C-alpha cells in the first residue's frame, strides 16, 4: 500500500494454471520488490515482464530496472522521464531469439520486403522520434537528478509548513520511498484524506497550480474488465488510493519558488478549512 506496487505475497496467492506472465509496474518511478517477485516467478516457472514506463533510470538494490525480468517495456510518451515528441516506446529482452521475433512482428511480420511470415503490426519508432530521443537521452541523468532534488525539496517544504499541526497527521500523506529503490520520481504523490482531494485540486486550479490524478478509476473497475470477476472492494488498497491520490508538479525545470508556491497554497487551503470548521 505504501509504494502502490504489486505485492509479491498477493502474486503467489493468485497464480493459477492460466497465469502466463507476471507484469510488475514500477509505478510513479519507484521500483517494485523485484527480488521477491522474481523468486515467486522462478518457483512457478513464469516469465516476468517489467513495466518500466515511468521508471527509466531506476534501480532496485543497485540493479537497473528492466534487467530483472525476461523482458521490459519502456514508454517515451512526452509525460515520461525520457519523453519524445509523441508516441513511442522500447522493449528490452534477454533472448536474441525472442528479440528477433518481436522485431518481425513490429514491422508487419514482413521479412524480406513484401514477404509476410507472420501477422504483425506497425510498431516502428519513426525517425523524428528517434532523433529527438537520441538528443534527450544524453540528459537523462540530469533530468533524474533534478526530479530527485525536487522531491527532496517537497519533503523539506512540507515539513516546514507545519501542516500536521493544522490538519492532523493523516490529512496529507507524503510519498513513501523504499530505501532499496533508486527512485526516479516520475510523479510526486500525495494522499489527501477525509474526502478533501477533489476540493483541494479545485483550490489549486483556481490559483493556476496544476495537479493530476493517476488514476481516477482502478483497472479492475474499468468497464472493459467487468467480466473478470472483480467487484467493488476486491482491491481495497487500490480503490482507496484512487480516491485519495493527488500528484504535484515535479518536472525537472520546476523552480524552488514554484515549489514554495505549491506547498504554500496547500497549507493555505487547510488553514482556511480549519478556520471555517472552528467558526
- The Cα–Cα gap between 237 and 243 comes to 10
pLDDT(14) > 60: yes
- The number of domains in the chain is 2
> Do residue 172 and residue 265 come from a single domain?
yes
Q: Are 79 and 132 in contact (CB under 8 A)?
A: no
> Do residue 94 and residue 149 come from a single domain?
no
> Do residue 172 and residue 203 come from a single domain?
yes
Quick one: average pLDDT of 145-155? 98
Contacts 24+ apart (CB under 8 A), 155-163: 157/259, 157/260, 157/263, 158/263, 161/263, 161/264, 161/266, 161/267, 162/267, 163/266, 163/267, 163/270
- pLDDT of 167: 65
pLDDT(220) > 60: yes
Cis geometry, peptide bond prior to residue 215 (ω within 30 degrees of 0): yes
Q: Model confidence at 215, in pLDDT bands (50, 70, 90)?
A: very high
pLDDT in tens, 30-79: 999 999 999 999 999 999 999 999 999 999 999 999 999 999 999 999 99
Q: Domain range for residue 223?
A: 141-278
Q: Is residue 46 part of a domain?
A: yes
- The percentage of the chain sitting over the pLDDT mark of 70, rounded to a whole number, equals 97
Domain final position from 140, 157, 177: 140
- Per-residue cell: 52: 518500466
- The percentage of the chain sitting over the pLDDT mark of 90, rounded to a whole number, equals 92
- CATH code, 168: 3.90.1150.10
- Per-residue cell: 107: 514491422
Mean pLDDT (the chain, rounded) = 95
pLDDT(274) > 80: no
> Do residue 148 and residue 135 come from a single domain?
no
- The Cα–Cα gap between 154 and 254 comes to 11
- Bridge-partner residues for 49, per DSSP? 71
- pLDDT of 170: 62
Range name among 22-31, 126-135, 162-171, 226-235 with the lowest pLDDT average: 162-171
Quick one: average pLDDT of 258-270? 96
> Do residue 183 and residue 250 come from a single domain?
yes
- Buried-state track 172-193, b at ≥16 Cβ within 10 A, e below 16: beebebeeebbbbbbbbbbbbb
pLDDT(169) > 60: no
- pLDDT of 166: 62
- The Cα–Cα gap between 60 and 1 comes to 18
pLDDT(278) > 70: no
Amino acid at each position: 500500500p505504501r509504494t502502490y506496487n504489486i505485492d509479491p505475497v498477493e502474486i503467489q496467492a493468485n497464480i493459477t494454471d492460466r497465469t502466463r506472465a507476471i507484469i510488475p509496474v514500477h509505478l510513479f518511478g519507484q521500483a517494485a520488490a523485484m527480488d521477491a517477485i522474481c523468486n515467486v516467478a522462478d518457483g512457478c516457472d513464469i516469465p516476468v515482464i517489467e513495466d518500466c514506463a515511468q521508471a527509466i533510470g531506476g534501480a532496485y538494490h543497485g540493479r537497473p530496472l528492466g534487467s530483472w525480468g525476461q523482458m521490459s517495456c519502456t514508454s517515451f510518451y512526452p509525460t515520461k522521464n525520457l519523453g519524445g515528441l509523441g508516441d513511442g516506446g522500447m522493449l528490452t529482452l534477454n533472448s536474441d531469439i525472442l528479440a528477433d521475433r518481436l522485431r518481425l512482428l513490429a514491422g508487419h511480420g514482413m521479412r524480406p520486403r513484401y514477404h509476410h511470415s507472420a501477422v504483425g503490426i506497425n510498431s516502428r519508432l519513426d525517425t523524428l522520434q528517434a532523433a529527438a530521443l537520441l538528443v534527450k537521452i544524453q540528459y537523462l541523468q540530469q533530468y533524474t537528478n533534478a526530479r530527485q532534488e525536487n522531491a527532496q525539496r517537497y519533503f523539506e517544504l512540507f515539513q516546514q509548513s507545519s501542516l500536521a499541526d493544522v490538519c492532523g497527521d493523516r490529512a496529507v500523506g507524503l510519498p513513501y520511498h523504499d530505501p532499496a529503490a533508486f527512485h526516479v520520481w516520475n510523479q510526486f504523490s500525495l494522499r489527501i484524506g477525509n474526502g478533501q482531494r477533489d476540493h483541494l485540486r479545485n483550490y489549486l486550479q483556481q490559483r493556476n497550480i496544476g495537479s493530476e490524478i493517476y488514476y481516477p478509476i482502478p483497472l479492475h473497475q474499468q468497464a472493459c474488465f467487468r467480466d473478470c470477476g472483480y467487484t467493488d472492494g476486491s482491491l481495497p488498497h487500490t480503490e482507496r488510493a484512487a480516491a485519495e491520490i493527488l500528484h504535484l508538479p515535479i518536472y525537472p525545470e520546476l523552480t524552488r519558488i514554484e515549489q514554495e508556491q505549491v506547498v504554500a497554497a496547500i497549507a493555505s487551503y487547510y488553514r482556511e478549512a480549519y478556520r471555517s470548521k472552528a467558526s
